[in-house]
């Protein structure tokens, strides 16, 4: 295919062909002028005679017939093994009786050469999307973390010591503890993340009721507005809080269009699901906390790091805040 700096662009080919056909130049003379071979000059002159200026356009170099092309039934078998069993080119080649390089070429042609592009549940190629500007869509959800007992939890101290700390904490707070189960409560993190920029907002509460979710939504909208983002849509799962009439009324009051994910399809809300995993690895279980208060005190600092400093692979290795324009002090 030609490009803007090519010797023979369609316009230059037309000039060469006209010299030969209309002005009587020889192919050798025209080829010398344009620094190409006489055979090339003759080819373009002949096309001009037959097709006129339209014949100067680029054509595909793909052959008309490919006798050695992999048969369609073999392609379907390769794709089926890739989707059902997640096999690599070498393993598939052993089953279908052909070179691994041929199998790899088929997988590349079908855009399933990388397992990361295949949905783990449906085995279909992933369909990724991203809204074009901040505020076009925010994802909301609730994730839960068990509270950390005073003295530390079992992840760092082991199950025996962690259980003793949990029982002691429950006894101190409530005056009662079960021999086998110590109820020290659960932290409900109501999260919101902007689809375009991945800028996140988090609040910790003691429940996931509709009234709590609505309050978080109001404060999240205000928080985004302070950063120049006007929220237009909100995407949630089918939890009880988000299916309530109060939630729909709150969205209508705020001028936001509510949207729901398909039931039993968390991939639709995948950005916030992936954020929850980052939240768990980077904050909830990142280090040893001696109490739940200590862990909660660390959340604002970690959230600032995530929004302002942590490189995000989905947006070119830049922090999420860089996708919000005209935000004062976003590099601090």
HSE (side-chain half, CA atoms, 13 Å) at 103: 21
pTM: 0.64
- The winner for highest mean pLDDT among 12-21, 152-161, 170-179 is 12-21
Arithmetic mean of pLDDT, 143-158? 89
Question: What pLDDT, on the 0 to 100 scale, is given for residue 14?
Answer: 92
**Bigger pLDDT: 328 vs 316:** 316
Find out whether 195 and 141 touch, Cβ atoms under 8 Å.
no
Map residue 180 onto helix, strand or coil: coil
Task: State the average pLDDT for the chain.
Answer: 87
Q: Let me know if 316 is exposed, middle or buried by CB neighbors in 10 A (0-12, 13-18, 19+).
A: exposed
CATH architecture of 138-147+185-323: 2-Layer Sandwich (3.30)
Euclidean distance between CA atoms 169 and 164, whole angstroms? 9
Measured from the Cβ of residue 131, the count of other Cβ atoms closer than 10 Å reads 15
Measured from the Cβ of residue 36, the count of other Cβ atoms closer than 10 Å reads 19
Question: What pLDDT, on the 0 to 100 scale, is given for residue 325?
Answer: 67
> Would the pLDDT of 321 be above 80?
yes
Q: Report domain extents, the chain.
A: 10-56, 72-117, 138-147+185-323
Of 200, 203, 197, the C-alpha closest to 135 is 197
HSE (side-chain half, CA atoms, 13 Å) at 248: 8
Q: How does pLDDT run across 200-237, given as a tens digit for each residue?
A: 999 999 999 999 999 999 999 999 999 989 999 999 99
**Bigger pLDDT: 285 vs 124:** 285
Which stretches of the chain are DSSP H helices? Answer: 10-21, 27-34, 38-51, 72-85, 89-96, 100-109, 154-157, 159-174, 210-225, 240-243, 245-254, 270-279, 292-308
């Amino acid at each position: 295919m030609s490009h803007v700096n090519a010797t023979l662009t369609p316009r230059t080919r037309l000039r060469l062909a006209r010299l030969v056909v209309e002005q009587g130049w020889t192919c050798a003379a025209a080829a010398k002028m344009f620094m190409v071979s006489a055979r090339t000059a003759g080819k373009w002159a002949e096309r001009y005679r037959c097709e006129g200026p339209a014949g100067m356009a680029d054509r595909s170099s793909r052959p008309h017939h490919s006798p050695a092309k992999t048969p369609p039934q073999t392609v379907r078998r390769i794709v089926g093994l890739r989707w059902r069993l997640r096999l690599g080119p070498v393993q598939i080649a052993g089953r279908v009786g052909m070179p691994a390089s041929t199998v790899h070429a088929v997988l590349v042609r079908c855009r399933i050469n990388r397992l990361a592009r295949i949905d783990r549940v449906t085995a279909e190629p992933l369909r990724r999307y991203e809204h074009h500007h901040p505020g076009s869509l925010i994802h909301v959800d609730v994730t839960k973390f068990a509270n950390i007992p005073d003295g530390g939890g079992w992840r760092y101290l082991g199950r025996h010591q962690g259980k003793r700390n949990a029982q002691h904490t429950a006894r101190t707070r409530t005056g009662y503890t079960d021999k086998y189960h110590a109820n020290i409560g659960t932290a409900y993190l109501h999260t919101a993340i902007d689809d375009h920029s991945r800028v996140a907002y988090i609040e910790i509460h003691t429940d996931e009721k509709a009234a709590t979710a609505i309050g978080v939504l109001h404060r999240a909208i205000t928080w985004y507005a302070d950063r120049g983002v006007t929220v237009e849509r909100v995407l949630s799962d089918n939890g009880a809080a988000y299916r309530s009439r109060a939630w729909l009324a709150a969205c209508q009051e705020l001028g936001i269009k509510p949207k729901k994910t398909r039931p039993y399809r968390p991939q639709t809300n995948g950005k916030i699901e992936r954020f929850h995993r980052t939240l768990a690895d980077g904050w909830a279980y990142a280090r040893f906390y001696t109490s739940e208060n200590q862990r909660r005190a660390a959340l604002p600092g970690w959230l600032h790091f995530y929004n302002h400093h942590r490189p995000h692979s989905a947006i070119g290795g830049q922090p999420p805040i860089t996708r919000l324009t005209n935000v004062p002090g976003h590099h601090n």
